[in-house]
């Protein structure tokens, strides 16, 4: 659960996405945009298996854990190696958070890149510890990156939305779906499907190869409430399209949280004033005599 936030509190942005969604490339675009705005972010790489990063990470899990050595030492496969590397890194999380807190005054955004094997981070104990620790320290937003061209298929779209829904309710954090690669295919079809149930039904009927149409119909009804509270943005990691709107969307839940905190403080002050007025109306015996 996120604590009350100060007006100038930095924001943690956790990037999550399927392999090939362009998650890391998008993070690089965000990094470049913030540098252009003279507000350079603090970047943390949590993917131990990445061979080359398109950005300079301030903290890199690969400096702490040797992924290939972990696989060899513990006789693990690729996924097991990534999971174990994350577990080992988590044991040093207190040191990482100490660094983050020191940089909070000079950095407005902290960007966290995660493994492309999305399930390893989202459903592991180490992933939950990292996410919850970040959320308990500063306002945190989870960004789920979607490969827009691949999502043009109704079944693939539904799979992505189900995954997004499960992650949002598991983390219980402000959530943003970033439809990437809109320079190739616009994400308007996805927005239309989320807003118009009949439009998605029509797309399903046109997809004769989809043998799970009845299941897709049922799931689209279930997700209707999820869509109502979902923030969506179309971006392009290649061209920079939509990056400005991306940060506007990031700011929306932060401002809402600030308003909620202000409301809680005002309510607390009001209750305190009422208590004081009640006390002032009574004679208080401080002698201790009966």
Alpha helices in the chain (DSSP H): 23-36, 67-74, 78-90, 93-103, 118-122, 125-137, 154-171, 188-195, 197-206, 213-222, 224-228, 243-280
At the second CATH level, the architecture of 11-280 is 3-Layer(aba) Sandwich (3.40)
DSSP state letter for 114: -
Write down the pLDDT at residue 201.
84
- Residue 141: strand, helix, or coil: strand
pLDDT in tens, the chain (290 residues): 455 555 678 999 999 999 899 999 999 999 999 999 999 999 999 999 999 999 999 999 999 999 999 999 999 999 999 999 999 999 999 999 999 899 998 999 999 999 988 989 999 999 999 999 999 999 999 999 999 999 998 888 988 999 999 999 999 999 999 999 999 999 999 999 999 988 988 888 876 655 567 777 777 877 888 888 899 999 999 999 999 999 999 988 766 665 665 566 666 667 777 777 665 555 545 455 54
Q: What is the pTM of this model?
A: 0.85
* Per-domain boundaries in the chain: 11-280
What is d(CA 37, CA 243) in angstroms, rounded to the nearest whole number? 12
What is d(CA 181, CA 148) in angstroms, rounded to the nearest whole number? 6
- Residue 11: strand, helix, or coil: strand
Write down the pLDDT at residue 81.
95
What is d(CA 152, CA 158) in angstroms, rounded to the nearest whole number? 10
Q: Read off the pLDDT of residues 150-175 as tens digits, 9 standing for 90 and up.
A: 999 888 898 899 999 999 999 999 99
Burial class (CB in 10 A: 0-12, 13-18, 19+), 1: exposed
Closest CA to 130 of 39, 57, 59: 59
What is d(CA 178, CA 236) in angstroms, rounded to the nearest whole number? 9
Residue 6, Cβ neighbours under 10 Å: how many?
Answer: 12
Residue entry with tokens 């994350």? 86
What is d(CA 135, CA 99) in angstroms, rounded to the nearest whole number? 16
């Amino acid at each position: 659960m996120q604590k009350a936030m100060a007006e100038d509190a930095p924001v943690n942005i956790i990037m999550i996405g399927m392999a090939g969604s362009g998650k890391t490339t998008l993070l690089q675009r965000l990094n470049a945009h913030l540098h252009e705005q003279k507000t350079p972010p603090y970047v943390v790489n949590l993917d131990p298996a990445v061979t080359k990063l398109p950005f300079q990470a301030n903290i890199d899990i690969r400096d702490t854990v040797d992924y290939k050595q972990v696989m060899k030492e513990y006789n693990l496969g690729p996924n097991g190696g990534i999971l174990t590397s994350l577990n080992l890194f988590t044991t040093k999380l207190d040191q990482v958070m100490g660094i983050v807190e020191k940089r909070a005054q000079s950095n407005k955004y902290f960007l966290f890149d995660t493994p492309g094997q999305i399930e390893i981070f989202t459903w592991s104990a180490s992933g939950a510890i990292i996410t919850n620790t970040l959320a308990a320290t500063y306002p945190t937003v989870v960004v789920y990156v979607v490969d827009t061209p691949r999502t043009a298929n109704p079944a693939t779209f539904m799979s992505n939305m189900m995954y997004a829904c499960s992650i949002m309710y598991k983390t219980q954090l402000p959530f943003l779906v970033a439809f990437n690669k809109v320079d190739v295919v616009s994400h308007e079809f996805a927005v239309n499907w989320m807003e118009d149930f009949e439009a998605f039904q029509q797309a399903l009927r046109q997809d004769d190869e989809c043998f799970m149409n009845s299941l897709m119909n049922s799931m689209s009804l279930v997700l209707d409430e999820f869509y109502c509270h979902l923030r969506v943005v179309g971006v392009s990691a290649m061209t920079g399209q939509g990056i400005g709107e991306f940060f506007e969307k990031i700011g929306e839940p932060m401002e809402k949280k600030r308003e909620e905190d202000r409301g809680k403080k005002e309510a607390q002050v009001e209750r305190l004033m009422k208590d004081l007025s009640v006390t002032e109306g009574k004679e208080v015996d401080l002698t201790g005599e009966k």
